[in-house]
Structure 1
Amino acid sequence: MLANLTRAYLAPYRRWLTAIVLLQLVATMASLYLPSLNGKIIDDGVAKGDTAFILKAGGMMLMVSLVQIVATICATWFGARTAAGLGRDLRASVFSRVGSFSAQEVSRFGAPTLISRSTNDVTQVQTVTFMGFTMMVSAPIMMVGGIFMALREDVGLSWLVAVAVPFLGLSVALVIRRMIPQFRLMQESVDWVNRVLREQITGIRVVRAFVREDHERSRFAEANTQYTGTAVAVGRLMALVFPIVMLTFNASTVAVLWFGSHRVASGAMQIGELTAFMSYLMQILMSVMMATFMSMMIPRASVSAGRITEVLETDSTVVPPTTPTAIPDGATRVELDDVEFHYPGAQNAVLQGISLVAEPGSTTAIIGSTGSGKSTLLSLIPRLYDVTGGSVRIGGVDVRGAALTDVWSRIGLVPQKPYLFTGTIASNLRYGDRDASDEDLWAALRIAQADGFVRAMPDGLDSAIAQGGTNVSGGQRQRLAIARALVAKPSIYLFDDSFSALDLATDARLRAALRPVTQDAAVIVVAQRVSTIIDADRIVVLEDGRVVGTGTHDELMQTCPTYQEIAQSQRAAQEVAA
């Protein structure tokens, strides 16, 4: 999985990869040549007192070392740039893929894990790629070259290489094998910590309102403890690796000195050759250790690569058509014909047999009890979900056969939970139209009954908005979201319970101000309060996902028991409150 992912995203860096391999080859060959030079200095220079030879060989060692340093620096630079580019491209791909998801895929993954996969998981892949460029390229070259050079120095001690290398590789491989499931559990624990932390930060007001700080601390402590426990378990296994490596290094050094000293004493080997052989053995073991170190990182990066690939290979259930049909210019008529919708895995349909028409210049209202499917029905029009039966048409064109941008550009959606982005009031309003002038923004704010509190802010349109709009009230957030939709000047307005946080007087003024602006547009309003939709041209009453009544307010009060019950319950509540 890791190899496939990196291969796909490293294709643009082929020249850089070639340069890295060549530079690492030069650096490794230089490092392999140095022990041999050092051995000659000892045997041919120091032993014979040949100062000229020592200076000449020493100068060559300095030159070789300089070449090695320059090649290593250049290879590391190329490796860092390539790994950084890989991380950038992976994050961009994950972001782009998530941006194409429908609400169904976003709900299936969840925001915390998507954030973890685009940050922590990408970092794991990026890190192991960089380490691979700086270690895994040189490690096999150093191992093969080290074995060749060691045999060249003395064949009689070669059995030490045959014993030390397999022992080190096998011992570490057994430890790494036990790490792989722990790494997978560690990434899942990161998701859990992110999810709990995100919920606590987002819902801090609710936590404090219900004095649930201790409960939330215990939830976070549980998630944090699991992550810590997994990290400690991995740490224990990693702690075994370095003692094994050092034991092998030290035992090999002692064995070379012990058996090599006997060969030196017998005249079969010179001291310089012994020193060079020991250096080559250390290089061989060092290459095994580097490969081992990479092997410790690869399992976790492989898990991360699998999680990233899962996102990249997930196709949205809302698929753009291959040959889209253009929606006629000026089309505002919205038709729902025998619409049915099932959530994935649900046995029963949320919506069944829904048919309605929203005409241009008219207001169609949808009302019903909680859970009747009002917001789900509204989500089908802009294709946040796709219908599982029937059809949704705009201007006579099925939205599944039209380009997504063609559908979205005609719709101004004010969601049930209005969301504002970090920035200013002006930057949030210009999400509707990035070229809108300040006059356009103020006009939209006046219609949305938001100009008063915006003018009262110190910086007016340039007043700061925190993430999610947490520094303004719920009613102000709703009015700013309505103004944002008005700035776009769409031909279809969808208000998903967008007036619930407004008092009755503000609600009435806002609806009155909307009529002249929306006189040529189709307006669909989902509401809980009868007072909000009492003047609607057509009211659709939902119950258990079915239409149980349509008509004006007066007609429904005569013919629809469900609507009568809703109206009477709200009237009784108002009388009690009064």
Structure 2
Amino acid sequence: MLKTLLSQVKQYKLASILTPLCMIGEVICEMIIPVLMAGIVDKGIYGNNMGYIFSTGGKMIVIAVLGLLAGLLGAYYGSMASTGFAKNLRKAMFDNIQTFSFSNIDKFSTSGLVTRLTTDVSNIQNAYMVTLRMAMRAPASMIVALVMSFIISPELARIYLGAVIFLAVVAVLLMRRATRYFKQVFEKYDELNESVQENVSAIRVVKAYVREDYENAKFKKAALNIYNMFVKAEGNVVYVSPLMTGTVYVCILLISWFGAHMIVAGNLSTGSLMSLLTYCMSILMSLMMLAIIFVMMTMAEASGKRIAEVIEEKADLTNPENPVMEVADGSISFDHVYFSYNKSSDEPVLKDITLDIKSGETIGIIGGTGSAKSSLINLISRLYDVTDGSVKVGGVDVRDYDMEVLRDQVSVVLQKNVLFSGTILDNLRWGDKNATEEDAKRACEMACADEFIEKMPDGYNTVIEQGGTNVSGGQRQRLCIARALLKKPRILILDDSTSAVDTATDAKIRKAFATMIPGTTKLIIAQRISSVQDCDRIIVMDDGKINGFASHDELLKTNEIYREVYESQTGVSGDADFDSASGQ
């Protein structure tokens, strides 16, 4: 874990080295000043030597300024190193997430990834800052203070040493109890983020069903869980500060008592006693800083493991050593394909799928809910890999292609249509970043999106809100289809992407496909027979298998499922649908 995290320090190594060096310089300056103060008291005041007082005072000012400068530089370099480290961690995670296949993404919840990119990285950033500054300063300050105390008076310094050992043991025992609670806190953060994400993304549904009170209660419960965990952890940590303060005050009383007797006996000077008391406060502050470091490192350990998991996660799907860089045509071939989302699953999602689709064909795909229609088309653009068998595009196994090349030529409009904040033109250019406005207009004409875009006040420069909430479901679908068309793909896949479009517009879109992109292979998943009946051939899916694969007319004669659904939708007889028909 440490190796993975520290590898992201990168260009901030120099700042990471300079920070502790500056802190050591600050400590040295702080430790010299009590010695000079003792000299002023013993030699200057008691010796009535004003020259010594002024010269030593001047030295103290210079050393104090140098200490201040060292502290400021330490803070500057520490901030640079910690914020830069956090930036690199976020970038490393985000970059690696972009390489994830769907199966990798399935391992991490969206809310979990958000927590790792935000809260967990902030914990690491704070811990790194504290480590660079306090973790070097506190031990150095404490060790130097103890050494100086032993130099001044070994007898009184033993009191410090005993106090340090006692407090170290107590702190370790208390922190060990707190550690397990800090480790559980971040799992609760995932639940909190999940509650917020669901509520914000589905706020219209929440209001439509008047579920605000329910959502408030769910959020309150998640927040309360975090509160309770922190209370348990802090309940153990809270004893550290009063114990340390009380112990140091006892040390001050003992040193004052025994020191006064030693001054009377002539074994200790007044200035030396003042130095010892100053070093006592330095040791107190050092111990307090060490306690803070221990708490933050405990929290950072849990966060670090979660961050390292994301950075170290290897994508299930990778390019071959010598990938094919060109897709010859839009032909598709499935050869005895089996597929499971879970490798250990007993029952595969797709079972012995064998079919051949010619380049330029228009293929309809229908079937009941859970019949694995989407799973079938996800294999074509290699969003998942087959469990057994092979899928070929353009006569080449999809696993032999460069994935970017393959996905540029296989354009998919998924069931869940997503638009991003920005103008309509910005969204369309996701399909082709170099597309002109004329290119975008032609794609929108094919997708029948130009009809409503031209009615908008700003046309193609109309701003789309996040998620496309300011356009209707049908408009969102048509924009996503136009975006996919801009890629000029060899294969176009529409996964139930016209479900929110009226039948007349659906027919226009299909007609445009047939006349304007005849060389593109088109796969259309739909629930309406009218959306696929004009296709060259239609695949009927049932329970992960191909129940039929033929033209509309042939399926009406030979396929019972298809015939029953057709009759129900055209009003010939009954009221069946795909789910009920396939279950017979």
TM range, smaller chain: over 0.9
Checking the alignment, whether the CA contact within 8 Å between 1:540 and 1:549 is kept in structure 2 is yes
Aligned partner of 1:167 in structure 2 is 166
1:336 and 2:334 equivalent?
yes
Instruction: List runs of 5+ in structure 2 lacking aligned partners.
Output: 576-584
Secondary structure of 2:7's match?
helix
Q: Distance in 2 between matches of 1:503 and 1:465?
A: 22
Amino acid in structure 2 at the alignment position of 1:233 = K
**Residues 161-192 of structure 1 deviation map (CA, whole Å, 9 limit, x = unaligned):** 12110122111222211111111111011100
Pairs within 5 Å for 1:350-361: 350-361=349-360
Amino acid in structure 2 at the alignment position of 1:83 = S
Aligned partner of 1:251 in structure 2 is 250
Cα distance change, pair 176–57 in 1 and its aligned pair in 2 (3 A): same
Amino acid in structure 2 at the alignment position of 1:457 = M
Q: Distance in 1 between matches of 2:569 and 2:169?
A: 75
Secondary structure of 1:500's match?
coil
Kindly state the Cα deviation for residue 527 of structure 1 after the two structures are TM-superposed.
Answer: 1.1
Per mean C-alpha deviation after superposition, the further-off stretch among 330-339 and 542-551 is 330-339
Amino acid in structure 2 at the alignment position of 1:520 = G
TM-score by length of 2: 0.95
Aligned partner of 1:377 in structure 2 is 376
Checking the alignment, whether the CA contact within 8 Å between 1:44 and 1:50 is kept in structure 2 is yes
Kindly state the Cα deviation for residue 25 of structure 1 after the two structures are TM-superposed.
Answer: 2.0
Q: Distance in 1 between matches of 2:572 and 2:193?
A: 41
Kindly state the Cα deviation for residue 138 of structure 1 after the two structures are TM-superposed.
Answer: 1.5
Amino acid in structure 2 at the alignment position of 1:449 = C
Aligned partner of 2:237 in structure 1 is 238
Kindly state the Cα deviation for residue 21 of structure 1 after the two structures are TM-superposed.
Answer: 3.0
Secondary structure of 2:523's match?
strand
Kindly state the Cα deviation for residue 347 of structure 1 after the two structures are TM-superposed.
Answer: 2.1
Checking the alignment, whether the CA contact within 8 Å between 1:362 and 1:537 is kept in structure 2 is yes
Amino acid in structure 2 at the alignment position of 1:107 = D
**Residues 25-72 of structure 1 deviation map (CA, whole Å, 9 limit, x = unaligned):** 211111110111111111111112222111111110000000001111
Secondary structure of 2:56's match?
helix
Pairs within 5 Å for 1:171-250: 171-250=170-249
Q: Distance in 2 between matches of 1:64 and 1:492?
A: 74
Amino acid in structure 1 at the alignment position of 2:374 = S
Kindly state the Cα deviation for residue 203 of structure 1 after the two structures are TM-superposed.
Answer: 1.7
Per mean C-alpha deviation after superposition, the further-off stretch among 14-23 and 366-375 is 14-23
Amino acid in structure 2 at the alignment position of 1:255 = L
Checking the alignment, whether the CA contact within 8 Å between 1:358 and 1:524 is kept in structure 2 is no
Checking the alignment, whether the CA contact within 8 Å between 1:414 and 1:498 is kept in structure 2 is yes
Q: Distance in 2 between matches of 1:58 and 1:574?
A: 106
Aligned partner of 1:471 in structure 2 is 470
Pairs within 5 Å for 1:517-532: 517-532=516-531
Secondary structure of 2:355's match?
strand
Kindly state the Cα deviation for residue 474 of structure 1 after the two structures are TM-superposed.
Answer: 0.8
Per mean C-alpha deviation after superposition, the further-off stretch among 264-273 and 245-254 is 245-254
Q: Distance in 2 between matches of 1:361 and 1:296?
A: 64
How many percent of aligned residue pairs carry the same amino acid? Answer: 35
Q: Distance in 1 between matches of 2:357 and 2:240?
A: 69
Q: Distance in 2 between matches of 1:509 and 1:364?
A: 17
Aligned partner of 1:119 in structure 2 is 118
Amino acid in structure 2 at the alignment position of 1:483 = A
Amino acid in structure 2 at the alignment position of 1:198 = Q
Kindly state the Cα deviation for residue 149 of structure 1 after the two structures are TM-superposed.
Answer: 0.9
Instruction: List runs of 5+ in structure 1 lacking aligned partners.
Output: none
Cα distance change, pair 573–96 in 1 and its aligned pair in 2 (3 A): farther
1:73 and 2:90 equivalent?
no
Amino acid in structure 2 at the alignment position of 1:88 = K
Aligned partner of 2:293 in structure 1 is 294
Checking the alignment, whether the CA contact within 8 Å between 2:12 and 2:80 is kept in structure 1 is no
Q: Distance in 2 between matches of 1:560 and 1:384?
A: 31
Secondary structure of 1:566's match?
helix
**Residues 56-89 of structure 1 deviation map (CA, whole Å, 9 limit, x = unaligned):** 1111000000000111111111111111111111
Aligned residues: 575
Kindly state the Cα deviation for residue 307 of structure 1 after the two structures are TM-superposed.
Answer: 0.3
Kindly state the Cα deviation for residue 256 of structure 1 after the two structures are TM-superposed.
Answer: 1.4
Secondary structure of 1:137's match?
helix
Aligned partner of 2:580 in structure 1 is none
Aligned partner of 1:406 in structure 2 is 405
Aligned partner of 1:315 in structure 2 is 314
Checking the alignment, whether the CA contact within 8 Å between 1:441 and 1:487 is kept in structure 2 is yes
Kindly state the Cα deviation for residue 124 of structure 1 after the two structures are TM-superposed.
Answer: 0.6
Alpha-carbon RMSD: 1.7
Aligned partner of 1:327 in structure 2 is 326
Cα distance change, pair 365–19 in 1 and its aligned pair in 2 (3 A): same
Cα distance change, pair 339–6 in 1 and its aligned pair in 2 (3 A): closer
Q: Distance in 1 between matches of 2:277 and 2:516?
A: 86
Amino acid in structure 1 at the alignment position of 2:314 = D
Q: Distance in 2 between matches of 1:319 and 1:176?
A: 43
Per mean C-alpha deviation after superposition, the further-off stretch among 416-425 and 455-464 is 455-464
Q: Distance in 2 between matches of 1:266 and 1:235?
A: 47
Pairs within 5 Å for 1:86-97: 86-97=85-96
Checking the alignment, whether the CA contact within 8 Å between 1:420 and 1:467 is kept in structure 2 is yes
**Residues 231-263 of structure 1 deviation map (CA, whole Å, 9 limit, x = unaligned):** 222232332222122112222211211111111
Aligned partner of 1:278 in structure 2 is 277
Q: Distance in 2 between matches of 1:163 and 1:91?
A: 44
Secondary structure of 2:154's match?
coil
Checking the alignment, whether the CA contact within 8 Å between 1:165 and 1:285 is kept in structure 2 is no
**Residues 514-548 of structure 1 deviation map (CA, whole Å, 9 limit, x = unaligned):** 22222011111111111100100010111000011
Cα distance change, pair 481–11 in 1 and its aligned pair in 2 (3 A): closer
Cα distance change, pair 546–275 in 1 and its aligned pair in 2 (3 A): same
1:417 and 2:412 equivalent?
no
Checking the alignment, whether the CA contact within 8 Å between 2:29 and 2:66 is kept in structure 1 is yes
Q: Distance in 1 between matches of 2:105 and 2:325?
A: 28
**Residues 313-347 of structure 1 deviation map (CA, whole Å, 9 limit, x = unaligned):** 2212212212213334x422121111110111432
Q: Distance in 2 between matches of 1:574 and 1:115?
A: 51
Checking the alignment, whether the CA contact within 8 Å between 1:5 and 1:305 is kept in structure 2 is no
Pairs within 5 Å for 1:424-503: 424-503=423-502
Checking the alignment, whether the CA contact within 8 Å between 2:178 and 2:234 is kept in structure 1 is no
Q: Distance in 2 between matches of 1:268 and 1:315?
A: 69
Q: Distance in 1 between matches of 2:401 and 2:214?
A: 49
Q: Distance in 1 between matches of 2:203 and 2:9?
A: 42
Checking the alignment, whether the CA contact within 8 Å between 2:411 and 2:493 is kept in structure 1 is yes
1:37 and 2:36 equivalent?
yes
Kindly state the Cα deviation for residue 11 of structure 1 after the two structures are TM-superposed.
Answer: 4.5
**Residues 362-386 of structure 1 deviation map (CA, whole Å, 9 limit, x = unaligned):** 1011111110000111111111111
Checking the alignment, whether the CA contact within 8 Å between 1:172 and 1:244 is kept in structure 2 is no
Amino acid in structure 2 at the alignment position of 1:442 = K
TM-score by length of 1: 0.96
Q: Distance in 2 between matches of 1:208 and 1:12?
A: 49
Cα distance change, pair 351–60 in 1 and its aligned pair in 2 (3 A): same
Checking the alignment, whether the CA contact within 8 Å between 1:102 and 1:316 is kept in structure 2 is yes
Secondary structure of 2:217's match?
helix
Amino acid in structure 1 at the alignment position of 2:178 = M
Amino acid in structure 1 at the alignment position of 2:121 = V
Amino acid in structure 1 at the alignment position of 2:523 = I
Kindly state the Cα deviation for residue 574 of structure 1 after the two structures are TM-superposed.
Answer: 11
Amino acid in structure 2 at the alignment position of 1:102 = S
1:140 and 2:139 equivalent?
yes
**Residues 366-423 of structure 1 deviation map (CA, whole Å, 9 limit, x = unaligned):** 1111100001111111111111011111111111111111111111111111101111
Checking the alignment, whether the CA contact within 8 Å between 1:418 and 1:481 is kept in structure 2 is yes
Q: Distance in 1 between matches of 2:20 and 2:312?
A: 31
Secondary structure of 1:434's match?
coil
1:305 and 2:304 equivalent?
yes
Checking the alignment, whether the CA contact within 8 Å between 2:244 and 2:287 is kept in structure 1 is no
Per mean C-alpha deviation after superposition, the further-off stretch among 54-63 and 442-451 is 442-451
Checking the alignment, whether the CA contact within 8 Å between 1:327 and 1:397 is kept in structure 2 is no
